[in-house]
Homo-oligomer: A and B are copies of this chain.
Amino acid sequence: MYGWNGRLLRVDLTAGTVREEEISPWVLKGYVGARGLGIHYLLAEVDPACDPLGPENRLVFATGPLTGTRAPTGARYVVTTKSPLTGVLTCSNSGGFFPASLKKAGVDAVVFQGRAAEPVYLWVDDGRAELRPAEGLWGRTTHGTTDALVGAHGPGTRVACIGPAGENGVRFASIMNDRDRAAGRSGVGAVMGSKNLKAVAVRGTGKVAIHDPDRFGELVKGYLDRFNDTYRDEPPPLRSHGTAVTVMGTQNTGIFPTRNFQAGQFEQWEALHGETLTERFLVKARACFSCPIACGRVTRVDEPGYEGEGEGPEYETVYSLGSDCGVGDLAAVTKANYLCNELGLDTITMGATLACAMELAERGLLPEADVGRRLRFGDARGLVEFTRLTAFREGFGDLLAEGSLRLATRYGHPELAMVARGQEFAGYDPRGEQGMGLAYATSPIGASHMRGDPAYIEILGVPTLIDPHEWRGKGELVAEWQDTFALIDAAGLCVFFTIRNLVSPDRHIRPTGILELLNAATGAGYTLEELERAGERIFNAERLFLVRAGSGGEHDTLPPRMLEEPMPDGPAKGMVVHLREMLDEYYRARGWDARGVPGPDKLRELGLG
């Protein structure tokens, strides 16, 4: 088969065995890959009521048909499991080089099940795969683990692993690959840790078979030529300044979350801006496999107390550990980011949970004794100190390790956790960006900017600008974007290139470029309708898991701050999220019932009956 390997590794950690299975070509076409394969196997094999950190939960690593190909940004994989943070589904994805190697090793997906008696890692050597003891690795940082495995298996080995946070069951522990790329969200690293699985190391030297290499090459060349034409005079802003270049846009529209979303503009925004990062700490830009953008930041900090080297921070990190915590010290933010990477923590939830703790503390709701010291917004030292404590669940870190909703609930104020479905918001205050409010509320993994990011169309004007304050029409728009993002994730592509270059330039984003590339790569002969249907299928399958896990429409909501407290100042002053109105429109657009449940007709239409 082309594009896909059609091969799944089933790793039974309890039994210590690795078996190969064929993935039905029909499942591959219908679910495309990566995120689609993840939900396909989760829905088929995981009890929605299971304990996310128990052996009955499963963890799926999956690549897409374009992963490991020369398709621009064909670099990504998706981790799907039941989340210990949200208690329902999650999928978290990452780029780098590990995913392409996994694909080149002849594997489309790995299903981990059970729990190993002793720490192990999976070694995939171009198709042969086995579990090995991870004795010398347990307790080590992600960098230490990666370096040890590359040392053991030789150059060209690619590693995804957890750090101490995953070992210690931090509910927002990440899985790090290639040292600093993160499948960050919802605690996928904690699930990996609960299984005593420290790492996956891969050597993949094969070539992904392409159905029509001439056509595929021609398409890739066309896209890259156009990309290079666009940036002939000046490199893309994402390469020059990384994703933190977004700070200017969100600050200017008054949706840059500040002090746990108490405000939408941060007075020290310039200190966190991508251009500042470039000036102060950038060593070089770094690209993932087959990516022409290179938004990754290799940075070095020499400031006393914050010394370090690594990658980051991203925009989401300068929001969460920066403005949201009221911290304008980019050195501190960057150092905390390094720690998150090394210890295996999601920077978004780490920062947002700290921000929540800061607000609780400032309001006198969180006793200083519990924290161990005074905690206030703007506490730059605290970022570093508490990140470390969280990963090891030491002291107050043990409470932070539970995430903001459990923390705020413990102190009687769940409404102060800026979450949807138990997961912390990304760096966009939805009061000034209505579509994002709806996207947070309906994202299958809890609040996320990566499950149909309306910021493109509401803030960046890509492919066209739609008023961010308008709520009418956003139901349909968000549904459409969510399905397209599902497709991008499933194909193994990165949103950054794809959303600007591989969809038709219209308010209705149609995955025309993805269609061309997929058909040339796989020979699956998708029609545009079939492909769009596949995106919708994936999103609805995820919804099905949510509903079965008891998280249907009643959980499509936002904290009262978003719904009832008008934005206090800035361009979005006076606004709240018109969630109810948007939800009604959204459910209609999706063909779901008034309780947010896909009906039998919709499920049949999608082959999910």
Report if A604 contacts B (CB, 8 A): yes
- Jot down 7 A-B pairs with beta carbons below 8 A, ordered by A: A1-B25, A2-B24, A26-B524, A29-B29, A30-B525, A527-B604, A530-B607
Size category of the binding interface on chain A: 20 to 34
A35-59 CB contacts (< 8 Å) to partner B: none
Per the bound structure, the CA–CA distance linking A2 and B27 in Å amounts to: 13
Residue of A25, A211, A529 most packed against chain B (CB within 10 A): A25
Report if A307 contacts B (CB, 8 A): no
* Contact, CB under 8 Å: B527 / A26: no
* Contact, CB under 8 Å: A26 / B607: no
Residue of A22, A26, A527 most packed against chain B (CB within 10 A): A26
Q: Across the interface, which residues of B come within 8 angstroms of A21, CB to CB?
A: none
Q: Across the interface, which residues of B come within 8 angstroms of A24, CB to CB?
A: 2, 211, 523-525
A525 in complex: contacting residue of B27, B522, B525, CB < 8 Å:
B27
Per the bound structure, the CA–CA distance linking A30 and B519 in Å amounts to: 14
Q: Report the copy number of this chain in the oligomer.
A: 2
A1-24 CB contacts (< 8 Å) to partner B: 1-2, 22, 24
Report if A368 contacts B (CB, 8 A): no
A607 in complex: contacting residue of B1, B29, B523, B525, CB < 8 Å:
B525
Write the nearest CB–CB distance from A5 to chain B, whole angstroms: 13
Render A494-537 as a binary contact track against B, CB cut-off 8 A, 1 for contact. Answer: 00000000000000000000000000001111010110000000
Q: Across the interface, which residues of B come within 8 angstroms of A22, CB to CB?
A: 1
Report if A569 contacts B (CB, 8 A): no
Q: Across the interface, which residues of B come within 8 angstroms of A394, CB to CB?
A: none
Per the bound structure, the CA–CA distance linking A316 and B2 in Å amounts to: 46
With CB as the reference atom, state the residue of chain B lying closest to A27. Answer: B525
Report if A564 contacts B (CB, 8 A): no
Report if A605 contacts B (CB, 8 A): yes
Render A293-317 as a binary contact track against B, CB cut-off 8 A, 1 for contact. Answer: 0000000000000000000000000
Q: Across the interface, which residues of B come within 8 angstroms of A27, CB to CB?
A: 525
With CB as the reference atom, state the residue of chain B lying closest to A1. Answer: B25
5 tightest A-B contacts by CB?
Answer: A25-B25, A26-B524, A26-B525, A527-B607, A24-B523
Per the bound structure, the CA–CA distance linking A522 and B24 in Å amounts to: 9
Per the bound structure, the CA–CA distance linking A605 and B527 in Å amounts to: 8
Write the nearest CB–CB distance from A482 to chain B, whole angstroms: 22
Per the bound structure, the CA–CA distance linking A211 and B25 in Å amounts to: 12
Write the nearest CB–CB distance from A204 to chain B, whole angstroms: 23
Per the bound structure, the CA–CA distance linking A162 and B524 in Å amounts to: 37
A223-245 CB contacts (< 8 Å) to partner B: none
With CB as the reference atom, state the residue of chain B lying closest to A525. Answer: B26
Write the nearest CB–CB distance from A300 to chain B, whole angstroms: 49
Q: Across the interface, which residues of B come within 8 angstroms of A522, CB to CB?
A: 26
Write the nearest CB–CB distance from A452 to chain B, whole angstroms: 25
A589-609 CB contacts (< 8 Å) to partner B: 604-605, 607
With CB as the reference atom, state the residue of chain B lying closest to A30. Answer: B525
Per the bound structure, the CA–CA distance linking A530 and B525 in Å amounts to: 14
Per the bound structure, the CA–CA distance linking A527 and B1 in Å amounts to: 23
Per the bound structure, the CA–CA distance linking A530 and B530 in Å amounts to: 10
Q: Across the interface, which residues of B come within 8 angstroms of A604, CB to CB?
A: 527
Write the nearest CB–CB distance from A403 to chain B, whole angstroms: 37
Q: Across the interface, which residues of B come within 8 angstroms of A605, CB to CB?
A: 527, 529
Instruction: List 5 additional A-B contacts (Cβ < 8 Å) besides A24-B211, A527-B604, A527-B607.
Output: A24-B524, A25-B25, A26-B29, A26-B522, A527-B605
Per the bound structure, the CA–CA distance linking A211 and B604 in Å amounts to: 21
With CB as the reference atom, state the residue of chain B lying closest to A527. Answer: B607
Q: Across the interface, which residues of B come within 8 angstroms of A523, CB to CB?
A: 24, 26
Per the bound structure, the CA–CA distance linking A525 and B537 in Å amounts to: 13
Write the nearest CB–CB distance from A529 to chain B, whole angstroms: 8
Write the nearest CB–CB distance from A186 to chain B, whole angstroms: 29
Write the nearest CB–CB distance from A44 to chain B, whole angstroms: 12
Per the bound structure, the CA–CA distance linking A30 and B530 in Å amounts to: 12
With CB as the reference atom, state the residue of chain B lying closest to A607. Answer: B527
Per the bound structure, the CA–CA distance linking A170 and B60 in Å amounts to: 61
Per the bound structure, the CA–CA distance linking A522 and B25 in Å amounts to: 10
Render A274-310 as a binary contact track against B, CB cut-off 8 A, 1 for contact. Answer: 0000000000000000000000000000000000000
Per the bound structure, the CA–CA distance linking A523 and B40 in Å amounts to: 14
Per the bound structure, the CA–CA distance linking A24 and B3 in Å amounts to: 12
Q: Across the interface, which residues of B come within 8 angstroms of A530, CB to CB?
A: 607
Per the bound structure, the CA–CA distance linking A30 and B525 in Å amounts to: 9
Per the bound structure, the CA–CA distance linking A525 and B530 in Å amounts to: 14
Per the bound structure, the CA–CA distance linking A30 and B604 in Å amounts to: 19
Per the bound structure, the CA–CA distance linking A522 and B22 in Å amounts to: 13
Write the nearest CB–CB distance from A213 to chain B, whole angstroms: 15
Q: Across the interface, which residues of B come within 8 angstroms of A30, CB to CB?
A: 525
Write the nearest CB–CB distance from A293 to chain B, whole angstroms: 31
Per the bound structure, the CA–CA distance linking A26 and B519 in Å amounts to: 11
